[in-house]
């Protein structure tokens, strides 16, 4: 099975048979690190740029003069609420775009971008980006696909933050990773991308310690395991129960 952007999607229990119901949260991964886009013409006359882990690329509200294509590494997007709290929204990987979200309706960045790892980028003027989309319909189509996936992550984020406990948020994001990046092994389904507990905490609005406690409890219950640096979902049925609040009651 493949998604509309050409990325393979792992088969998981009941996948394809589940449909969204009013009030439900669709399972999508906040880690957009499997993007199979090709931005060829965009990369003409761009400059190379590198970031160290935790280095800021741009801040919310700054002039949106530059758009970036991620070549390697992971970048997280965040925004500040009216209460001044920073809310982490998603993590983008290779072939993701940064700095385009508010264009062309706003001249300022709508989010902040911070490196979650060592990152290599290609940078271009925002005007070059917009001109390339007009000149190349295939690039515009890819951009719409990326925008749709980012919107899905934002919608999920809002729904989860509003109504769910810490444990349910973590379980739901694990299910999203399973559906987007899961591959069968003897123990269950391995999530084929690596992520840190700090990243999970950022996305869920939790501390790394809180995520560690939830992971430890899921391991003791046999719901998840570790395999060569990856998380393995051993019991997706129990994980789904926890995500719905019908399990043993994570904090």
Q: How far is CA 123 from CA 97, 101, 118, 203, in A?
A: 10, 15, 16, 26
pLDDT category at 227 given cuts 50, 70, 90 is confident
- Distance between CA 3 and CA 113 in Å, rounded? 26
Q: Is the pLDDT of residue 1 over 90?
A: no
Q: Count CA within 13 A, CB hemisphere, residue 183.
A: 7
Instruction: Write down all domains in the chain, each with its CATH number in brackets.
Output: 31-161 (2.60.120.10), 165-243 (1.10.10.10)
Q: What per-residue confidence (pLDDT) applies to 86? A: 80
Please give the model's pTM, rounded to 2 decimal places: 0.77
How many degrees, rounded to 5, is the angle at CA 161 between CA 181 and CA 199?
45
Asked if residue 7 lies in contact with residue 142, where contact means CB atoms within 8 angstroms, the answer is no
Give per-residue pLDDT as tens, 128-181: 999 999 999 999 999 999 999 999 998 888 777 765 788 988 999 999 899 888
Q: If we measure between CA atoms, which residue out of 13, 33, 12, 11 comes closest to residue 150?
A: 33
Q: Count CA within 13 A, CB hemisphere, residue 248.
A: 11
- Distance between CA 233 and CA 32 in Å, rounded? 19
């Amino acid at each position: 099975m493949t998604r509309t952007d050409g990325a393979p999607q792992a088969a998981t229990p009941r996948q394809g048979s589940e449909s969204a119901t009013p009030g439900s949260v669709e399972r999508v991964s906040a880690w957009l690190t499997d993007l199979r886009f090709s931005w060829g013409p965009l990369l003409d006359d761009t400059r190379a740029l590198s970031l160290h882990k935790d280095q800021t690329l741009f801040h919310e509200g700054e002039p949106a003069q530059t758009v970036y294509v991620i070549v390697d590494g992971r970048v997280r997007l965040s925004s500040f609420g009216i209460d001044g709290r920073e809310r982490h929204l998603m993590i983008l990987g290779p072939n993701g775009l940064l700095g385009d979200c508010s264009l062309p309706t706003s001249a300022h960045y709508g989010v902040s971008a911070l490196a979650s790892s060592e990152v290599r980028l290609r940078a271009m003027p925002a005007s070059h980006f917009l001109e390339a989309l007009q000149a190349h319909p295939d690039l515009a189509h890819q951009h719409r696909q990326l925008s749709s996936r980012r919107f899905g992550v934002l919608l999920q984020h809002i729904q989860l933050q509003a109504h769910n406990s810490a444990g349910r948020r973590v379980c739901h994001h694990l299910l999203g990773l399973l559906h987007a990046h899961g591959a069968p092994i003897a123990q269950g389904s391995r999530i084929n991308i690596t992520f840190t507990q700090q990243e999970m905490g950022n996305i869920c609005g939790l501390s790394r310690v809180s995520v560690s406690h939830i992971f430890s409890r899921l391991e003791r219950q046999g719901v998840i395991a570790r395999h060569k640096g990856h998380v393995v979902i051993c019991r997706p049925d129990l994980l789904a129960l926890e995500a719905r609040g019908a399990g043993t009651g994570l904090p």
